[in-house]
Amino acid sequence: MTVVSVISGIVLVIAGVLTTFRLLDGPNSLDRLVALDTLIALAMCGLAVWAAYTGDTTIVPAIVALSLVGFIGSVSVARFRVSDK
């Protein structure tokens, strides 16, 4: 279980770094929004890996709350987005 958790953590960190580059270098605001959603999903996956590794289920409400915040943020940005020039 430890090896799987470490490999999962490393893959999530690499994905987070690559997504951060996309967030900073995105050509338009929708690309940045998708990158931000991906970072939120990676954070949720990281919390899930930590919960599986430790066997602690008290983190699950935090994962749910993070998913709701990510969804509401994405919907609000997409709703009030102005077009890029």
- Does 25 fall in a domain? yes
Predicted TM-score (pTM) of the model is 0.85
Q: Is the pLDDT of residue 78 over 90?
A: no
Angstrom distance (rounded) from CA 48 to CA 63 = 7
- Using alpha carbons, select from 10, 13, 35 the residue that is nearest to residue 25: 35
- Using alpha carbons, select from 17, 23, 18, 21 the residue that is nearest to residue 36: 23
Q: What is the pLDDT of residue 28?
A: 84
Tens-digit pLDDT profile for residues 23-77: 998 788 788 888 999 999 999 999 999 999 999 999 999 999 999 998 998 888 8
- Does 85 fall in a domain? no
Q: What is the pLDDT of residue 16?
A: 95
**Owning domain of residue 34:** 2-79
Give the number of domains in the chain.
Answer: 1
- Does 84 fall in a domain? no
- Does 45 fall in a domain? yes
